[in-house]
Amino acid sequence: MPLNAVTSHIISIQHHAIYYLERKGQTLDSPLLILFHGFPENAHAWEALIDALPTEYHVIAPDLPGYHQSEPLADSSDYQVPSLVSRMGEFVQTVSQGRKAILVGHDWGGAIAWPLAAFQPDLFTKLVILNAAHPSTFTQALKTSRAQRKKSEYIKALVADDAEAVLQQTDFAMLKDMLGSAMFEGDMFANVRLESTNQTASDNSYRARLLRSWRNTPTLSAMLAYYREMPQMAPDEHAPETELSRLRVPVLRVILPTLVLWGRLDEAFDEDILNGLATYVPNLRIVYHNTATHWVHREQAQWAAKEITDFLM
């Protein structure tokens, strides 16, 4: 097996299987990065970034609980953020084997990474966030920004009772549109092969992995449960002040040195959600990419890898 091969593994955390990718570092002291993906992706979303990161880095990227090859959880309440933070904190403790890690999160992975870094900072040395809203500034934006409320309207379709049926009947048009239709016109990451499998390149493409997991109804329901169990739903764009006033802005402080990488063409988050972030994250650096979208980790993997590497020096 090549020295820097990406291998796949399964581990039991709180009696449920979590699948993860791993590329070991060159030494026992190699920096350990743990990457949390977002919706509607999976651990393989990180393959381009893993390939771009220095080979001496030890990298672990799990499927979030219920996604792709990680086992769906027993109860809908298990997808509430505090439960996810607890489960993923135990995952980090288990795979890091006593070492401190650098936590990296995108989208929903970032929504878990923010509170995990806040409540269990002793597990980590640094935090890296890619286009994932901090809970405090995001909620504040929902209260005050019509632009953010409009960008969050897609959530209604994902929490609807018939969301699974609609997505399946439309061949997941909404999810494909989110990720960019170009991804489904070619074999993205088709040449990446896990050493522990005998899959063909077409079976192993990122596109194929996404479609297989979406077509599995229990997995799809697990993915949607993240939205259905959100503590506060996004109000309508034109919600009255009486409704907006009921939103509670959480106070979530992160003391870890934190890097935020932000694609400025994000269709899910208005850039104003970064306003006031230093109030909650005092040791903060924000770096923008002017032409990247929400999917900056795939679109600009080399750029993101360089920014992360510089941050870790």
Domain boundaries defined on the chain: 7-312
Quote the pLDDT of residue 203.
Answer: 62
Q: What is the pLDDT of residues 174-186, one digit of tens each?
A: 999 999 867 776 5
Helix axes 206-215, 217-228, angle to 10 degrees: 80
Quote the pLDDT of residue 140.
Answer: 95
Q: Supply the DSSP string of 122-170, one letter for each residue.
A: GGEEEEEEES---HHHHHHHHHH-HHHHHHTTHHHHHHSTTHHHHHHHT
**What are phi and psi for residue 246, nearest 5 degrees?**
-80, -15
Quote the pLDDT of residue 83.
Answer: 98
Cβ partners under 8 Å of residue 306, min gap 6: none
Of the candidates 303, 302, 276, which has an alpha carbon nearest to the alpha carbon of residue 290? 303
Quote the pLDDT of residue 218.
Answer: 97
pTM beyond cutoff 0.75: yes
Quote the pLDDT of residue 183.
Answer: 79
Residue linked to tokens 């209260």: 143
Counting Cα atoms < 13 Å in the Cβ hemisphere of 302 gives: 0
Superfamily of domain covering 7-312: Alpha/Beta hydrolase fold, catalytic domain (3.40.50.1820)
Say if residues 219 and 213 touch (Cβ distance below 8 Å).
Answer: yes
Q: Which residues of 195-227 are buried (b: 16+ CB within 10 A; e: fewer)?
A: eeeeeeeeebbbbbbbbebbeeeebbbbbbbbb
Quote the pLDDT of residue 26.
Answer: 82
Quote the pLDDT of residue 2.
Answer: 58
**What are phi and psi for residue 71, nearest 5 degrees?**
-70, 135
CA atoms of 127 and 180, how far apart (whole Å): 27
Say if residues 56 and 27 touch (Cβ distance below 8 Å).
Answer: yes
Tokens of 308: 């992360």
Tokens of 221: 């329901």
Q: Using only the alpha carbons of the chain, give its radius of gyration.
A: 19
Can you list the residues of the chain whose pLDDT is less than 50?
187-202
Of the candidates 86, 64, 69, which has an alpha carbon nearest to the alpha carbon of residue 132? 64
Residue linked to tokens 């936590």: 103
CA atoms of 130 and 133, how far apart (whole Å): 9
Quote the pLDDT of residue 1.
Answer: 52
Quote the pLDDT of residue 188.
Answer: 45
Say if residues 122 and 210 touch (Cβ distance below 8 Å).
Answer: no
CA atoms of 40 and 68, how far apart (whole Å): 10
